[in-house]
């Protein structure tokens, strides 16, 4: 892994920088070229993102109706500089033009909106009906998807190792959930606070998927991103909430670096201090907690985690997270409750209690 200024560090993206880096060193020139395209694109987006990061509230595009309002644009293989692209559809109006990626982006954005509204009574990412904007067909065969602080941007994948990211509802849920974090505790995107930011995005990403697929805690595979993995890659997920690694020594993707215990915490400076790496620790705690509770994870477990967002601040780390989730469990369910015991069991499993 390289240093803090590694060029693959990106704005909120689904393919972690260490995976891109592995691909950039591949023997196959095409894989290298596609990886370099991701690095370049992330750099392009970062310039815009730096401004948005300092004033997240400015980034929200107000919704005309202050309720579910989706817009999909076609980037026509152009880059981030050409955002948002050509309008394909706006909520309540017919398609001007459509394709598979656009339909998925539109439908999945709707599921994310519905999820937050139905279970947490949250009106879009900013709780004020902001528009859910998606642009599809970023560059050519682009192997990543992004939340740039303002909207979703999807590559099509190269079709061999990764396929269109719009297909994976957990990925769509993950990226939009970064917007929810921005508009609540706004966890700073580095070190432990950044790992928590990634953690919340993974949690709500998988909960949206479990809800739409009607999977309880025992039916879910607790894997992220399996629907965007292409036919030439023999791994089952980009990462997993379960113990162990999602993949090891894969010729294309390398090895999943996520630890599932605090003893394995990554302390280097790559990936903004391991935001996509150390999120494995709270992710696994959430999984242990949800399994202890049983039933549908988006109900009690999801609700406690959603309420926790309001008890953290931009600098919160793992210890603050432990305290905040325990205090939510205590306040909502009582000191001797099964919920509090489950939360504690989760944190104990990863060595944080």
Distance of closest approach, residue 201 Cβ to Zn ion, in angstroms: 5
Binding mask 242-261 for Zn ion (x = CB under 5 A): --------------------
Q: What's the closest the beta carbon of residue 33 comes to Zn ion, in angstroms?
A: 24
Q: Candidates 67-75, 87-95, 193-201, 216-224 — which segment interacts with Zn ion by CB under 5 A?
A: 193-201
d(CA 226, CA 207): 15
Nearer to Zn ion, 12 or 239 (CB): 12
Name the residue nearer to Zn ion (CB basis): 124 or 283: 283
How many of the other CB atoms lie within 10 Å of CB of 95?
Answer: 13
303-332 residues near Zn ion, rule: CB under 5 A = none
To Zn ion, the closest distance from the beta carbon of 99 in angstroms equals 25
Cβ closer to Zn ion: 12 or 161? Answer: 12
Tell me how far apart the alpha carbons of residues 282 and 251 are, in angstroms, rounded to a whole number.
28
The residues, ordered by sequence, that sit 6+ positions from 35 with a Cβ below 8 Å of its Cβ are: 20, 21, 23, 24, 26, 143
Does 292 help bind Zn ion (rule: CB under 5 A)? no
Give yes or no for residue 145 binding Zn ion (CB under 5 A): no
For Zn ion, what does the binding mask look like between residues 4 and 23, x meaning CB under 5 A? Answer: --------x-----------
Q: Are 229 and 163 in contact (CB under 8 A)?
A: yes
Considering beta carbons, is residue 12 or 22 the nearer one to Zn ion?
12
Q: Count the residues of the shown chain that bind Zn ion, applying the rule CB under 5 A.
A: 2
* Residues 303 and 120 sit within 8 Å (Cβ to Cβ): yes
Question: DSSP 3-state assignment of 136?
Answer: strand
Q: Which stretch binds Zn ion (CB under 5 A): 188-196, 199-207, 308-316, 338-346?
A: 199-207
- Give the helix/strand (H/E) hosting 147: strand 145-147
Nearer to Zn ion by C-beta: 129 or 205?
205
Q: Interacting stretch for Zn ion, rule CB under 5 A, among 38-46, 101-109, 113-121, 194-202? A: 194-202
Question: d(Cα 220, Cα 343) in Å, to the nearest integer?
Answer: 19
Minimal distance, residue 86 CB to Zn ion, in Å: 27
Choose the stretch contacting Zn ion; rule: CB under 5 A; options: 94-102, 195-203, 310-318, 345-353.
Answer: 195-203
Instruction: Indicate which residues carry an active-site annotation.
Output: 175, 276
Provide DSSP, 286-344: HHHHHHHH-S-TTTHHHHHHHHHGGG--TT--HHHHHHHHHHHHHHHH-TT-HHHHHHH
119 C-beta neighbours (distance < 10 Å), count: 18
Q: Which two tokens stand for residue 332?
A: 């909502």
> In the complex, what is the shortest distance from the CB of residue 12 to Zn ion, in angstroms, rounded to a whole number?
4
Residues 55-114 within binding reach of Zn ion (CB under 5 A): none
Q: Is position 201 an interface residue for Zn ion (rule: CB under 5 A)?
A: yes
Q: Shortest distance, CB of residue 15 to Zn ion, whole angstroms?
A: 10
Q: CA 324 to CA 5: how far, in whole Å?
A: 32
Residue ranges in the chain assigned as alpha helix (H)? 17-24, 29-54, 56-59, 100-120, 169-182, 191-212, 270-278, 280-293, 300-308, 318-333, 338-349
Nearer to Zn ion, 10 or 101 (CB): 10
Q: Which of 146, 143, 140 is nearest to 252 (CA)?
A: 143
Which residues contact Zn ion (rule: CB under 5 A)?
12, 201
């Amino acid at each position: 892994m390289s240093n803090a200024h590694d060029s693959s560090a990106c704005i909120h993206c689904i393919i972690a920088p260490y995976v891109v880096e592995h691909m950039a060193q591949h023997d196959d020139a095409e894989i290298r070229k596609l990886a370099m395209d991701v690095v370049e694109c992330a750099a392009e987006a970062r310039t815009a993102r730096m401004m948005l990061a300092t004033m997240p509230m400015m980034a929200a595009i107000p919704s005309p109706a202050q309720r579910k309002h989706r817009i999909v644009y076609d980037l026509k293989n152009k880059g981030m500089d050409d955002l948002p692209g050509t309008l394909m559809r706006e909520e309540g109006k017919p398609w001007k033009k459509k394709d598979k990626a656009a339909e998925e982006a539109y439908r999945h954005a709707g599921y994310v909106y519905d999820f937050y509204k139905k279970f947490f009574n949250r009106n879009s990412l900013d709780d004020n009906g902001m528009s859910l904007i998606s642009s599809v067909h970023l560059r050519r065969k682009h192997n990543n998807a992004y939340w740039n602080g303002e909207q979703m941007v999807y590559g099509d994948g190269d079709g061999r190792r990764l396929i269109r990211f719009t297909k994976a509802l957990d990925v769509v849920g993950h990226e939009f959930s970064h917007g929810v974090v921005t508009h609540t505790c706004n966890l700073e995107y580095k070190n432990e606070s950044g790992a928590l930011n990634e953690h919340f995005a993974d949690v709500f990403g998988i909960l949206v998927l479990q809800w739409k697929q009607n999977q309880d805690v025992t039916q879910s595979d607790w894997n992220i991103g399996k629907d965007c993995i292409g036919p030439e890659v023999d791994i089952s997920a980009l990462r997993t909430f379960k113990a162990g690694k999602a993949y090891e020594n894969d010729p294309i993707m390398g090895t999943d670096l996520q630890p599932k215990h605090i003893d394995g915490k990554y302390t280097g400076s790559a990936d903004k201090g391991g935001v996509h790496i150390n999120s494995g620790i709270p992710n696994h705690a959430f999984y242990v907690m949800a399994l202890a509770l049983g039933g549908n994870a988006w109900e009690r477990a999801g609700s406690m985690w959603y309420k926790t967002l309001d008890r953290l601040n931009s600098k919160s780390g793992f210890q603050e997270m432990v305290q905040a989730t325990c205090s939510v469990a205590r306040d909502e369910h009582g000191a001797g409750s099964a919920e509090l015991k489950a939360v504690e069991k989760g944190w104990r499993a990863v060595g944080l209690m």
